[in-house]
Amino acid sequence: MKFRESLILYASLTSLTALSIDALLPGLRAIGEEFGATPLLSTQHVISLFIFGMAFGELVLGPLSDAIGRKRALLLGLGLYAIGPIIALSSQSLEMVVLGRFLQGAGVSGPKIATRAMIRDQFDGSAMARVMSLMFTLFILVPMIAPALAMGLISVAGWRSIFVAYLLIALILGLWLAIRHPETLPANRRIPVRPRLLLTNGFRIVANARVMLLTVATGLVFGAQLLYLSTAADIFHDAYGVTESLPLYFAGLAISMALAFFLNSRLVQRFGMEAMARAAFIGFAGSAVSMMSACLLLDNELPFPAFLATLFVTFFATGLLFGNLNALAMQSLGEIAGFGASIIASGSSLVSTVFALVFGRFYDGTSLYLAAGFVVASICSLVLAEIGLRSDPSPVRAAQPAHN
């Protein structure tokens, strides 16, 4: 398989996560109208518990990708992912929709983890960051067009049609991978799934300050975005009266991340991952503080243009951060890239889910809750990442299985 086709396949597989979130956003209000909220669940959880499912799937599928190969683990994840839409399609309650979404999240961790490990198998350092940025540049097309396409599907066939689309996409990607892509992890480099070995390697990864601090920082950055995504349909409607044109605004804001990914792919090998990440953190914190200040000065009535402008800058900064933070954390993993990627992804998913659930409870129909979340996420992630980047960069050494 040529590099260009591999890149498109990686972007398609990775974009399944974004597609599973963004395509459903226009349908959240319809789901809420059909099922309503329960004492424990609301439509926010259709998004946030999808990410929670990812955290569990990543812990399982990461070690499996080190043991049975990236390709098999990825296909296994796609199979589990496909079960989620089947459950959601037949659901008669919000609880069943959330269960289907949880399984989707657990399954999508296969493509998410295995593609990163495949890239780590083939590239290193700034070259890895460049490949990830190019992949994300293609991947960003999803949030630009998914909400508009989803809204068209919903208007014709209802919100359940989105889950039919999810099922078909999973089948197509699975066939493409199975037929065209080779395995990137040779049999002699695989690490068997043994509880004691996993615990030892897991402890070594968790004990690495650089990896874990960057993992928490990544989780906070993603948590800020997840907070926005889980409440975006409501805030656009409640605060600004935007409903039908919501996909257009989503596409416009996604352009900022596309620009960031493209710019990072051009500049990261010149300036380095750390310099790009630090500049992005400053931009993220600056836009968050500006948004918070404007909300307080204007009595929580942030004008719509100002709301969009701060979101644009925020998404540009987080776009620069995603590729670089992941690559910086992965750089210290070496031969346990699959298991390490699972811990990084699972840890960041747990952090982001908790963050979004906590701050989402403060939603009041204005943008103040979002500004507060952005400020906390940006400042805390900046501090943690800076400490992490100054920590020992030595690679994590994998424990080897005992030979009889």
pLDDT in tens, 259-282: 887 788 788 878 888 889 999 999
Does residue 399 fall inside a structural domain? Answer: no
| Residue 40 banded pLDDT, cuts 50, 70, 90 | low
* pLDDT at residue 376 in the model: 95
Integer CA distances (angstroms), 279 to 80, 275, 276, in order: 39, 6, 5
Provide mean pLDDT across the span 325-337: 74
The domain total for the chain is: 1
* pLDDT at residue 337 in the model: 66
Q: Is 165 or 33 the better-scoring residue by pLDDT? A: 165
Does residue 402 fall inside a structural domain? Answer: no
CATH number of the structural domain spanning residue 217: 1.20.1250.20
**Interacting residues of 248 by C-beta distance below 8 A, sequence separation 6+:** 148
Cα gap 314→300, rounded to integer Å: 19
* pLDDT at residue 170 in the model: 95
Cα gap 325→322, rounded to integer Å: 6
Helix residue ranges per DSSP H, 69-93: 70-89
Please return the burial class of 199, using the count of CB atoms within 10 Å of its CB with bins 0-12, 13-18 and 19+: exposed
Placement of tokens 């950055």 in the chain: 221
- Residue 203 tokens read as 């402890």
Each residue of 161-208: pLDDT tens digit?
A: 999 999 999 999 999 999 998 888 888 888 777 788 778 888 888 888
Does residue 401 fall inside a structural domain? Answer: no
* pLDDT at residue 84 in the model: 94
Which amino acid, one-letter code, is at 332? S
Each residue of 4-21: pLDDT tens digit?
A: 788 888 888 888 888 898
Provide mean pLDDT across the span 42-52: 82
Cα gap 43→36, rounded to integer Å: 8
Among 201, 207, 218, 204, which residue's Cα sits nearest to residue 326? 218
pTM, full prediction:
0.77
Does 250 have pLDDT greater than 70? Answer: yes
Each residue of 274-327: pLDDT tens digit?
A: 889 999 999 999 999 999 999 999 888 889 999 999 999 999 998 888 778 877
Provide mean pLDDT across the span 210-219: 91
Among 218, 226, 213, 219, which residue's Cα sits nearest to residue 359? 226
Cα gap 151→213, rounded to integer Å: 39
Does 126 have pLDDT greater than 70? Answer: no
| Residue 308 contacts residue 264 (beta carbons within 8 Å) | no
Give the distance from CA 144 to its chain's centroid: 16
Does residue 397 fall inside a structural domain? Answer: no
Q: What is the DSSP letter of 336?
A: G
Provide mean pLDDT across the span 339-348: 80
Percent of all residues in the chain with a pLDDT value above 70, rounded to a whole number: 92
* pLDDT at residue 209 in the model: 86
Provide mean pLDDT across the span 339-363: 84
**How high does pLDDT run on average in the chain?**
85
Does residue 47 fall inside a structural domain? Answer: yes
* pLDDT at residue 219 in the model: 92
| Residue 151 banded pLDDT, cuts 50, 70, 90 | confident
Helix (H) or strand (E) holding 376: helix 368-389
Structural domain harbouring 354: 3-389
Cα gap 284→231, rounded to integer Å: 20
Give the lowest-confidence range in 38-47, 106-115, 308-317: 38-47
Does 44 have pLDDT greater than 70? Answer: yes
Does residue 187 fall inside a structural domain? Answer: yes
Percent of all residues in the chain with a pLDDT value above 90, rounded to a whole number: 28
Provide mean pLDDT across the span 198-227: 88
* Helix/strand/coil percent split, the chain, to 5: 80, 0, 20
Residue 191, classed as helix, strand or coil, is: coil
